[in-house]
Structure 1
């Protein structure tokens, strides 16, 4: 009996062991899938476009469906923490807002996105369930940002041809937008400096140093002023978050990486703008080697610092801090003469620098400068100084333009008056012609009646590349980008006032801003994530977001105060500073509209939740009596996952059909295009653009076949398109044109007029309206109905009043188009003949 019992126990143990191994293998597969889901999105244009993001949602949802089934079988919870409920509340707010959405398709798209983000958050919370897995996940995210930096730098060098990665002298990398690239690189550069302190392996520290150099190098040449300003404050936050005994390390490593980066940064412009931009790779390698060596050497210094007394450690930090401050001050204040020149072999071209100066409005100023100019070939001018006024909107108005032809050496002055709306000046120094040169040694500006209030104009920074220097010079709340953002926010609040409680649904800003804008500008983004959530979901969504952030902050504070080991403290600091960095920059830009950044953000938030869950499980006493498994919630996740799989697959399929329809439409194969658009509509019935394209192809076929049923279907589809997006001026104009071309004059004019109402500041809309009125009037005149002709021709003439009335409300009035003026003039002449 004893032998049988022992044998039975052995079999049970083996079965149990095999079962455990099987479960562990499955968890490894899920974990690797998670790593891929968070690492790859930045390389697909930041997951901004549906044709990349919809398949990602589908794949993520498939993983979650299988994973949630495993959780249900094992009776393990997916949702248990307050932060879990807070994350779900944001999905709930977006879901509610779809019932009030002005663009139902965009609203559905946003719901699917947030479901995906929360799915990633759940996967991280439960799969990255120990220090090693959290460490690996953070390293994968850092490596992902390293890859982003690598692509950006190689694009600048001309080795990588990634569309939009290097544009206008700025690194956009795979995000195709410089500010978002800067936000992503900055967040995980900060995480990297925490991870350097995590490992004890000096060789690994050295590799982190190489990563940090690449991140920093690319980050600097995104030329993102907002990110530059934020970095010191975020780095200080990282130091505060680090555990005692580790706070000195990130700072010391940062100094080492900056020193390693100094020479490559100085050489960047001259190389990429020179005849051999490929040589940038040499400077990348130089920086990598220096960063490797400096980080390795610094690791010994850090070890010594950690062994000495706290007072000595603090003293070293203070000394290094003072030296760094002095070095920074020298970099930002050391000036050299500005030389702009063209040799005899160079073609004529504008070489210039621009400098900004804050001044008072409506005041007389003097610009004094020392100059040496040469013009041996008697060209039109040796140099030009242009002085522009910039107002609250940073709109330029030229005040003075001085062209100096003579060869001269000495001091000169320019006297000018600022305007009543001047906030600052933009002073441009230019050299243009070959064989000419100019050197500006010093430049000052001061009020004529108060010479003591003099301001020095930094002509050329000795230790900064010019594109970096010019961006630093333009850091101001009155710069164009800053003032424009402020206007976006003001216009955003106008939208909020009309949709306060539930918002206008996902994509509210892009659908509505033309109607509310204070002057004509073009942007589909609010450039403020929190404003975007407010407009999308109203006060309900704002409450959900506040709930989510409060729960997140409480989780961080609780963990910061808890008795967790030093490694967990470092991981907590890394995740927290990454979260703060992304949210801080998203408050002034649209980074989180690129889903790759939001996926990374929710991964970091998931890490916070994972550490919290791990801490709770360690506290056995607190866990007793707490219900650890709620099957209903897990089944809910499963059902939502299945729904999202089908919806994302359907929308993705529709997109592919629509793209094929576009291809056939371009080749004028209308029947084939119609069939593909029809399929697109069947898979994505909420997409107004698909319906309009389908309706237009049907209308084209109906015009040829004269088939009444086809015509009726065309009208139905185009009308549904406008019903789905009632604030889309382009769709309204297209529907109006359809009705007018098919004899429904009243309907046609109604929708052309609506196109003006929803986008009142676009001059071309008035051109369409005037043209429609004119053509209808001429139609009635040709049919000898002079009364009707007069009525509509007078409306064509009155378009001028409509335009002037709308334009008078604009902060930046636009001129009426010449075509509109001609249509109005023609209508007036015809009216004279009728009368």
Structure 2
């Protein structure tokens, strides 16, 4: 009697478990989709290495970890390490581990820790999607959701372009960190080229990369789909996507688009290749027909919104999109099937997929010549036409990028094995830069990755992604077309962003990085699971090993992300209180809490040190001074290249009157900021002041030491100015860097007081100016004439001008000339 009961109970239990697992699986999938949508509107989780960008990234770590824990629960019993595919979830752990290894040489502990967390996000996204996307239903839902999110972002961008800033801000303001004062910040990017569409990214080039990837995904999805409404939807979005791409004014995007296009064509059958060309041509023509009116209307609406003009613009855009959608559907309905049949025999031949891509290269060259070398580009708006006209290898952006890459190579040479940690470029680029540009990004993901993790980490990363791409393509070649299409979207996604990241910092947006690793996970899901011969582990052992590692990592990440979120909250609270409150203890309390979690967080550390400095200035209490110095010195140990900390420490030494310490610090760190004109001007001034003081004390050894240091700094500036003259014609130097009158005056004085009047006159002569009413210019002329008089020479023209301005200068010149040192 009992057996049937037990049997019935077990059956019911099994069914309940299956239903539970199904519910959890859908929960994980929906959670991942909502997370991606949320991430897009947090400025795409830009890793801007500033306080205001931290919180969304820490939230992303926490959310990804919770999703990963759910994944572990779902797939606990299915955990195996038997095939090459299985071992990829172990291999991906090496990516964050190489960043952990690079902590040994980290140029910035703070930035390096953040990059470890970001790499953990990528690793978890990869593992989850590699498993999820093996399920056909889940795969379909996630693909559709990704495309849906992309279309929402495109629509959001067009809302902003056509002046609906407030409406767009209200739509996402309740959950987006990018909305400031009711408007999404920098959805329209304004620079010297005019207004540029940036949508959620706040950077047009990355938005262009995003649009390009989803342009190709939309075309592929339209061809693949069998449902009329889906074909119409994808066809409808082609015009807004291409229009948005042109409105970004991104030359990088336009240059790289044909390259990605040709790569993708190589994996398609000839009939599909021809359809891609047809849909690109139809949508491009449709876009060009509306480009001028939409561009002009957008520029007007951004200045002054008028409902009638906005409605007219939307009507034009929707009308063109509908026409292209209907044309695309008609082609797909009536022409595509015939094309497939007609080219079936050709498709069966070897290398049949190569000829059309080769032809497309020729076509690309022809189009480029027409757009760049003829008046054809005049059909485009002036802003776009001008950008196209400026595409050449001698323009500033190209030359500057080449400089970035050369400087990154110099940085890598000093940290070749394990790199300089996450954020290495941001922390170190001023030390290695060829000229005084300002760029916290290397504008090349691969070069930036190389300097962060060195050769070891870079080889691990490249081996990982190349292995997945290679195995995916091998599986792609062996399978039939229907099986290949199921995961090809992920190849497009990853390939597009990685290729485009050769020339820009798209991967500095964590949202883009997540899409790339989601794509790599999708490709891994399509790899044929080939059993490994040597690397095998029993099912129970594998399950225990991986789940233990994953569980511990998840718990640590969850704790760290929550603690860092708390710390970020305290840091922001302290900064806001510093603006509104005069209560020392009230401001200090949240800063102490932040530093109790992140002991060397530079923002809170510097703010707290400034409070102590103010306390010392007002009370002269040594405890305030000591506390400030100790804080800043502790910060320098973890952030040795943080200019703000060094300058603040120099400042507090000055307040104390400890000029020797201030000078020593300024001299020690000068080599880290080789193009900071203000830094070198101050170093030269300090060298003169302390040298002159030593001279008055009769300490010639110290005098010579200070003067030699100051003159070396002066020569550094002179050499730098000469070097800048060698820059290519089209490349701008960046920040100002020149020999200032103050530098010339102090350097000339040091030469004179070193008993080198000839050297002094040579330096001072370079600073002679027409306006001798200026005190510094007059002093330069005075010391110049005194140096000449010391040598028995005269410059009558300068002398007459100086005496005309101030007759008393004659006596001053005589006094200086009579000085002996």
Which category describes the TM-score, using the shorter chain as reference length? 0.7 to 0.9
The alpha-carbon distance between structure 1 residues 234 and 626, as it changes in their structure 2 partners (threshold 3 A), is farther
Residue correspondences, number: 707
Partner of residue 666, structure 1 = 579
Q: 1:322 to 1:713 in 2, by over 3 A?
A: closer
Which stretch has the larger CA shift, 799-808 or 578-587?
A: 799-808
Deviations 1:606-655 (A, max 9, x none): 1111222xx439x9999999748432122111111111112222222222
Q: Distance in 2 between matches of 1:460 and 1:558?
A: 42
Is structure 2 residue 600 aligned with structure 1 residue 686?
A: yes
1:145 aligns with one of 120, 143, 150: 150
Alignment-derived partner of residue 253 in structure 2 = 227
What is the aligned counterpart of 2:185 among 152, 159, 163?
163
Is the 8 Å Cα contact of residues 774 and 792 (structure 1) preserved in structure 2? no
Map residues 784-799 of structure 1 onto 2, 5 A cutoff: 785=697, 794=707, 798=711, 799=713
- Structure 2 matches for 1:497-576, cutoff 5 A? 497-563=413-479, 565-576=480-491
Q: Who is 2:102 aligned against?
A: 97
Q: What residue in structure 2 maps to residue 298 of structure 1?
A: 331
1:487 and 2:403 are equivalent in the alignment: yes
* Structure 2 residue 568 is the aligned partner of structure 1 residue 655: yes
Report the secondary structure of 1:476's partner residue.
Answer: coil
The answer for the alignment partner of 2:614 in structure 1 is 700
Structure holding more strand per residue: 1
Aligned with 2:63: secondary structure? helix
Change in Cα spacing, 1:155 to 1:823, as seen in structure 2 (3 Å) is farther
Q: How do residues 430-829 of structure 1 correspond to structure 2 at under 5 angstroms?
A: 458=374, 461-563=377-479, 565-612=480-527, 615-616=528-529, 627=539, 629-667=542-580, 669=582, 671=584, 672-773=586-687, 785=697, 794=707, 798=711, 799-810=713-724, 811=727, 812=733, 814-818=737-741, 820=743
Corresponding position of 2:64:
60
Show the 5 A alignment for 1:223-372: 223-242=249-268, 246-274=272-300, 278=310, 279-300=312-333, 301-308=335-342, 310=344
**C-alpha contact 1:165 1:175 (8 A) present in aligned 2:** yes
After superposition, the Cα gap between the structure-2 partners of 1:325 and 1:529, relative to the gap in structure 1 and judged at 3 Å, is: closer
Q: Structure 1 regions of 5+ residues with no counterpart?
A: 336-355, 357-456
Q: CA deviation at 1:156?
A: 1.6
Q: Which moved more, 1:824-833 or 1:296-305?
A: 824-833
Q: Quick check: 2:270–2:343 contact (8 Å CA) kept in 1?
A: no
Deviates more, 1:162-171 or 1:515-524: 162-171
Question: 2: CA distance between counterparts of 1:667 and 1:823?
Answer: 42
State the distance in 2 between where 1:674 and 1:748 align: 26
Q: Report how far residue 329 of structure 1 moved.
A: 9.0
Output aligned runs, 1:399-410, within 5 Å: none
Greater mean alpha carbon deviation, residues 663-672 or residues 221-230: 663-672
In 2, Cα distance between the equivalents of 1:539 and 1:324? Answer: 36
By percentage of residues, which structure has more helix?
A: 2
1:172 and 1:222 in contact (8 A); partners too: yes
CA shift for structure 1 position 286: 1.9
Residue among 189, 199, 222 paired with 1:196:
222
Per the alignment, in what secondary structure is the counterpart of residue 637 of structure 1?
Answer: helix
Instruction: Report the CA distance shift for 1:743/1:284 in structure 2 as closer, same or farther (over 3 A).
Output: same
1:113 aligns with 2:118: yes
Q: 1:796/1:491 Cα in 2 relative to 1: closer, same or farther (>3 Å)? A: closer
Q: CA deviation at 1:668?
A: 5.8
Cα distance change, pair 133–804 in 1 and its aligned pair in 2 (3 A): same
Change beyond 3 A, Cα 1:488–1:328: closer
Change (3 A) 1:661 1:792: farther
Contact 2:157 2:200 in 1 (8 A): yes
Residues 507 and 670 of structure 1, relative CA distance in 2, 3 Å threshold: farther
- How far apart are 1:157 and its partner, in Å? 1.1
Residue 121 of structure 1 and its aligned partner are, at CA, apart by 0.9
Q: 1: distance between equivalents of 2:502 and 2:543?
A: 36
Question: Distance in 2 between the 1:636 and 1:322 partners?
Answer: 48
Alpha carbons of 1:807 and 1:327: their partners in 2 closer, same or farther (altered >3 Å)? closer
Give 1:59 shift. 1.5
Deviation at 1:749, TM superposition (A): 1.2
Residue 319 of structure 1 deviates from its aligned partner by 14
Aligned partners of 1:677 and 1:322: how far apart in 2? 61
**Cα distance in structure 2, aligned partners of 1:753 and 1:593:** 33
Tell which deviates more after alignment, 162-171 or 61-70.
61-70
Q: 1:545 to 1:676 in 2, by over 3 A?
A: same
CA contact (8 A) 2:99 2:457 kept: yes
2:720 & 2:434 partners in 1: Cα distance? 10
Contact 2:25–2:74 (8 Å) recurs in 1: no
